[in-house]
Amino acid sequence: MYNNVKLEKGLYNLSGKSFSQALEALDPSSEYAGTPLENLDAFERQLKRFNIKVNGSDCDMVEKFFTTTESAVLFPEFIRRCIKKGFDESVLNNIVAVSTRCESNLYTGCVISDTTTYSTTAQGTSLPTASVTEPSTSLQLHKYGRLITASYEALRQQKLDVFGVMLRSVGIKLANSVLASAVTALKANITPINASTINYATLASLYGSFNDFNMNCIILSPANTATVLSFTQMEKTCADSQGKIRLPFGAEIICTSEVENDTIIGLDKDFALEIVTSSDLVLETDKLIDCQLDRIAVSVNCGFRRITNNAVKVLKIGN
């Protein structure tokens, strides 16, 4: 049972396992089916074990993690989860079709060449070919990170929910810095469609330029987003149940400063982009467990590549 799990620093350093995976191996969630704890994972059960409340009206302070040497072991995972939550809440996840884990910082995937028109084939004639091959170059992954400085004395009486929001904000900003590489990958070697100005007809034309795929997402700069939202065609548009704003023909609007004012990217987000990572969010754990919070380093190694060329269109404004 979760009350008997021995918590120690070494759980963060098991080869091929994250701390959460190591906890799950010691305390499988499957054993709690049909019990009041079935909706908690192994880490959350440890929070319950040590009565650490990370949100709500009776939320604890940071120092609660350091009540015992075992409960202190949970603190780095709390930080990682808060930052990861912010990372996952960013717009980045809205444009990624598939995530791939790579064991090194060089990734060689595959590419498909499928340009022949799909049509009938006469009997006895060879079928048109779609070729899947390795690309001529490998994708180089890059490290993105942040160093958070704070003393234990400054944080020990900080409410965990407030500290968690601060960490989530770091995660969102970290994801936004990664987003710049995603935008670069989407635009790379794409022949743009030129337009003199941005108006509703321009966006409708971009939507109509897709053949095999559906433009279900459009990425714009903040200035262009404001322009689009001012269109009369958008007057009756409101956010959907998930808080997403869409064009009348269904494309989700993604607003980011990583796209220039003269560029609009339309894509089928189910087919366009692959994110490749060599690690999950990484934290230096030992110092955190020992109350040495003066330097909290968090980083992720990742890169992007376009999967299907025809699932992306780029509109250039003012040309």
Identify the CATH number of the domain in which residue 217 sits.
3.30.2320.10
CA distance readout (Å), 64 to 46, 69, 293, 295: 13, 11, 15, 20
Find, among 149, 90, 139, the residue nearest to 298 by Cα.
149
pLDDT tens for 138-190 read 889 998 888 887 777 888 889 999 999 999 999 999 998 899 999 999 999 89
Residues 54 and 189 in one domain: no
Average pLDDT over residues 105-133: 78
* Res 17 pLDDT > 80: yes
Residues 205 and 215 in one domain: yes
State both tokens at 140: 């180089």
pLDDT band at residue 230 under the 50/70/90 scheme: very high
**Greatest Cα-to-Cα distance within the chain, rounded to the nearest angstrom:** 80
CB 298 within 8 A of CB 174: yes
Between residues 95 and 294, which one has the greater pLDDT?
A: 95
Between CA 49 and CA 300 the distance in angstroms is: 30
Average pLDDT value for the chain: 88
* Res 62 pLDDT > 90: yes
Residues 47 and 90 in one domain: yes
Q: Which residues contact 226 (CB under 8 A, 6 or more apart)?
A: none
Average pLDDT over residues 233-253: 84
Residues 77 and 24 in one domain: yes
Predicted confidence at residue 6, as pLDDT, reads: 93
Residues 68 and 169 in one domain: yes
Residues 188 and 299 in one domain: no
Between CA 167 and CA 159 the distance in angstroms is: 12
Residues 250 and 228 in one domain: yes
Find, among 132, 267, 114, the residue nearest to 187 by Cα.
267
Residues 199 and 169 in one domain: no
User: Residue 299: which domain range?
Assistant: 2-96+140-181+276-305
Average pLDDT over residues 279-292: 67
Find, among 37, 32, 35, the residue nearest to 47 by Cα.
37
The domain total for the chain is 2
The structure's pTM equals: 0.83
Residues 10 and 38 in one domain: yes
Q: Which residue has 């590419």 as its token pair?
A: 111
Eight-class DSSP state of 113: E
Residues 157 and 266 in one domain: no
In a domain, 104, yes or no: no
Q: Which residue has 């040309």 as its token pair?
A: 319
CB 261 within 8 A of CB 219: no
pLDDT tens for 65-76 read 999 999 989 998
Residues 161 and 297 in one domain: yes
In a domain, 108, yes or no: no
Residues 78 and 170 in one domain: yes
* Res 278 pLDDT > 70: yes
